[in-house]
Amino acid sequence: MIETVPQTKVTHNEVIKGANPTLAGTIAQTLANPQVDRFSEDDGQFLKFHGIYQQDDRDLRKVAKKFMFMIRGRLPGGVVPSSLYLVFDRLSADYANNTLRITSRQGFQFHGVVKSGLGKIMKGINDALATTLAACGDVNRNVMAPPTPATSLLVERVQSDAARVSQALLPVTRAYHQIWVEGVELNQSDKTSEDFVDPLYGKTYLPRKFKTAFAIPPLNDVDVFTNCIGFVAIGEGDRLLGYNLLAGGGLGMSHGNKETFPRVADVVGFIKPERIEEVARAIVTIHRDWGDRTNRKHARLKYVLEDHGVEWFRNEVEKRTGLKLESARPFKFTKQGDLFGWHKKTDSNYFLGLYVETGRIKDTDKYQLKTALRLIVEQFQSEMRLTPSQNLILNNVLPVQRDAITRILADHGIPVENQATVIRRASMACPALPTCGLALAEAERSLPDLLTRIEQLLAELNLKDEEIIIRMTGCPNGCARPYMAEIGFVGKAPNKYQIYLGGNESSTRLNRIFKETVKGEDIVTELRPVFARFVQERIGRERFGDWCDRVLLKEAAIV
């Protein structure tokens, strides 16, 4: 018998999930009513399970609320076949704001979709044999995996395993297909059926979101320690021996609430490759049964690990699987980030790593990235892979295609070599304003200018070519993983940010608070003396984050 934690006074989200376990709500009725431009608050929660966020343009709030929707595709491992990319490109032009946003979890987001186009874009995605189901909501989100098809055959094996786990953790709901694919409305008994219970998630699904990632040492390009569960591949040459299991990572927190905090995952043990689906499903059920349903701010799996400990968790996994976890195998991460430019694969074909500023694929006066990618994919049927750092890879490029692709990019203002400065290539930002309802400050729209000012300061101090990992978010939920960066900016209020320092190159260490509240225009002023000290006090080629952790953050005034 599986023990569960007793919970009585649950949150409103738990109440509505229990009353409507098919997740249908009144979505179909509202969708069919042209007189309304938005869904109810409760339906807004159900929509998340369908991969949709209801938002409004916050730039226009002083005039009137203009409701719109963000739609997120579920793309395991960030793999996008050429035919699917062309569908996404067309749908973004026809029904969204003509951009595609690469997420920090290797998905695509459509922004600016109005209600009249919502059904059309959702049907278009599903007609292309893709889905948005479980891209959001209290379920397992998009499964991450190493995107770079570099020199090891392990990459393709791990990608395949990530897809297996993604499928194993997919929720079952009639509502999604009936509303968005078949275009029909569930009757009332179907929507509230007491008989319907998801076979994995149960009647009320998980207490909060759940995140899964795969990584291959020494490259931690997925920030694996920030996930609810992580699978770290242990190989012998090109042969996969198994995975070290990690659990309990997560970065979201709330300002002023010390009960919430970022946390890196614990190393739990080692499992053979054939057991990953079984173990993943067991861990989901642990979160289902032991997660806090009375407080959504304390509902992530990381708090289950924090409250009960890793030994308890290991025992619970073994009890639910009948499997004795082996001791973790040695592994070491040395870096994170992406490869840029042309690189040769093991099969003698090539891939091209392309920098995408703040993850936004778009056309501007200076460069037309969206148009160039469409032309390349149409002509050469290149597979696309999205990276966790919000960049992209053109994969499976034949040697005879390289020059033509380089020319197309150059004709549209996009260089293949020296694509961006070292600081920009290591940066990330969340969308924040004006679309995200949680944003307290700017991120995507402010980071490029802030990086320009930081680059000017670094040039003054003879640090022009110094790589420093910089990430910015508009709120403390941590979508761009700022708490792992060497410098993290976290929105606290309009044009005000917390500054975090001290993450490391391998993305295995949390940074720490340096300044509680700094105006956007004062950030460079606050960083100037810090960089000046770094120049004088670093040891050899010591990185900025390591120096901050070793020296700056240990000083009494900072701790």
Q: Please state, in angstroms and rounded to a whole number, the distance separating the CA atoms of residues 548 and 559.
A: 12
Q: Which residues contact 443 (CB under 8 A, 6 or more apart)?
A: 429, 430, 431, 432, 433, 472, 473, 474, 480, 489, 491
User: Which residues of 209-326 form beta strands (DSSP E)?
Assistant: 212-215, 229-236, 239-247, 266-271
Is the bond preceding 218 in cis, omega lying within 30 degrees of 0?
Answer: yes
Distance of CA 48 to the CA centre of its chain: 15
Q: Please state, in angstroms and rounded to a whole number, the distance separating the CA atoms of residues 291 and 298.
A: 8
Query: If DSSP codes are grouped into helix, strand and coil, which group holds residue 157?
Result: helix
Reference 183, options 175, 191, 192; nearest CA is 175
List phi, psi (to 5°) of 47. -60, -30
Helices then strands, each counted (H, E), the chain: 17, 19
Q: Please state, in angstroms and rounded to a whole number, the distance separating the CA atoms of residues 52 and 73.
A: 9
Element (H or E) spanning 370, and its range?
A: helix 369-380
Burial of 216 (0-12, 13-18, 19+ CB in 10 A): buried
Q: Please state, in angstroms and rounded to a whole number, the distance separating the CA atoms of residues 239 and 357.
A: 36
Reference 287, options 395, 351, 208, 365; nearest CA is 208
List phi, psi (to 5°) of 247. -155, 145
Strand pairing class (212-215; 229-236): parallel
Q: Please state, in angstroms and rounded to a whole number, the distance separating the CA atoms of residues 234 and 456.
A: 42
Cβ–Cβ under 8 Å, residues 113 and 119: no
Q: Which residues are catalytic?
A: 72, 141, 209, 211, 430, 436, 475, 479
Which residue is it, tokens 């569930």? 186
Q: Please state, in angstroms and rounded to a whole number, the distance separating the CA atoms of residues 413 and 408.
A: 9
- Residue type at position 528: R
Q: Please state, in angstroms and rounded to a whole number, the distance separating the CA atoms of residues 172 and 160.
A: 22
Cβ–Cβ under 8 Å, residues 351 and 148: yes
Q: Please state, in angstroms and rounded to a whole number, the distance separating the CA atoms of residues 416 and 400.
A: 16
Q: What is the signed CA dihedral for 128, 133, 136, 139, rounded to 10 degrees?
A: -150
Q: At what angle do helices 12-19 and 41-49 cross, to 10 degrees?
A: 70
